[in-house]
Amino acid sequence: MNLTSYMPVRIISGTDCVKNNSDVFKSLGKKCLIVTGGSSAKKSGALSDVTSALDKCNIEYSVFDEITENPYTEDCRRAGECARNCGAEFIIGIGGGSPLDASKAVAIFATNAEMKHSDIYNMNYKNEPLPIVLVGTTSGTGSEVTGVSVLTNSDNGMKKSIGGVYARVSFCDYRYTCTMPYAVTVSTALDAFAHACESYFSSMSTDLSEIYAEKAFSLLAEGLEYLYSSKDIPDDRIREILNDASIYAGLCLNITGACFPHTVGYALTEDYGIPHGKACAAFIPDFIKICAENKPEKSQRMFDIMHTDKYSLCRMITELADINITVSAAQLEKYRTRWVDPVKNFSRTPGNFTSDTAVKLFEKFI
């Protein structure tokens, strides 16, 4: 039996879960800072549900809504300063992966005034972060249930993750995802699939992470197939399936961490502006082929759960990711020095995956 795991987040799920559990906020303090991006928190209805719950509990709040996609360390530091200035006792992150990931860094900066933006990667802070509450509005990140936060270094534009910062509470209500446009729905669903798939075949996988991953596969089989064949935004039932899948995928990712598609996918986001989920999915067919060679029985189990085969699954992922880029020779050279073995996510990948193998994967885009 291998059930080794750590997941300290209190998950509250279901329709109207914010409204029905406003008491949760009361226990965290009298003032808070809401951290969001541009519009999805408002459009989804999540922001107004949260502010109504805070009003009901007589909790004061300020809003920092300047978190961009692939959030910058300096913006998180500024938000932390804002939290200090308004006397926030806890942080509420509302949105997709970017605001949720940013909130984790903001909670650290809020209590550690001396930290420069890039110090966040050292995770060598003196004071405990503020408590964090997360409300997701997309169906991909899994940030609600992981300790991971992926931040873009404001000094060099490179994405890098920190770990071990968990929310105190995460609210999961699929209705907040219903305003996502088709393209975002596809990209976030691909991100969830990448999490489940990378976790399933990781050398770190456990009995528990496999149970979560297999549950995510069974839900994503229907969700991805719908997005692939209909080319249209889903109805409520599929929205709920995709949201549930993203949480199960987050739970397995939390145990194992990712494999190479996430690491190399960052480069496509940084250099070509490809959204995170599609950027990881660009390498998922390569990953599936490597896993089929090295772990044939486990691969067959995934195909069986998803009622598919290697060829059909890879074709669906490739077409949904829809990557149209050209990597120049100069760019390829840059990637040769980007990853220096040992890379954690490479060594967790089945087979002997090295930074040389990673660079070769980009040759298909030349």
Which residues are near Fe ion by CB under 5 A? 191
**What is the smallest separation between the CB atom of 250 and Fe ion, expressed in angstroms?**
9
- Find the residue with minimal CB distance to Fe ion: 191
Residue 80 vs 140, nearer CB to Fe ion: 140
Q: Is 40 exposed, middle or buried (0-12, 13-18, 19+ CB in 10 A)?
A: buried
Residue 112 vs 152, nearer CB to Fe ion: 152
**What is the smallest separation between the CB atom of 340 and Fe ion, expressed in angstroms?**
22
Cα–Cα nearest to 252, from 298, 281, 304, 216: 216
Q: What is the bridge-based pairing of β-strands 149-152 and 159-162?
A: antiparallel
What 8-state DSSP symbol labels residue 342?
P
A 10 A CB-CB count for 358 gives 24
C-alpha 222: how far from its chain's center?
21
Residue 115 vs 180, nearer CB to Fe ion: 180
**What is the smallest separation between the CB atom of 81 and Fe ion, expressed in angstroms?**
28
**What is the smallest separation between the CB atom of 72 and Fe ion, expressed in angstroms?**
18
Residue 191 vs 244, nearer CB to Fe ion: 191
Asked if 239 and 139 touch (Cβ cutoff 8 Å), the reply is yes
**Cis amide leading into 350 (omega within 30):** no
**What is the smallest separation between the CB atom of 274 and Fe ion, expressed in angstroms?**
13
Residue 198 is inside which H or E element, if any? helix 182-201
What 8-state DSSP symbol labels residue 271?
H
Residue 130 vs 281, nearer CB to Fe ion: 281
Residue 241 vs 281, nearer CB to Fe ion: 281
| DSSP-derived 3-state class of residue 242 | helix
**What is the smallest separation between the CB atom of 89 and Fe ion, expressed in angstroms?**
30
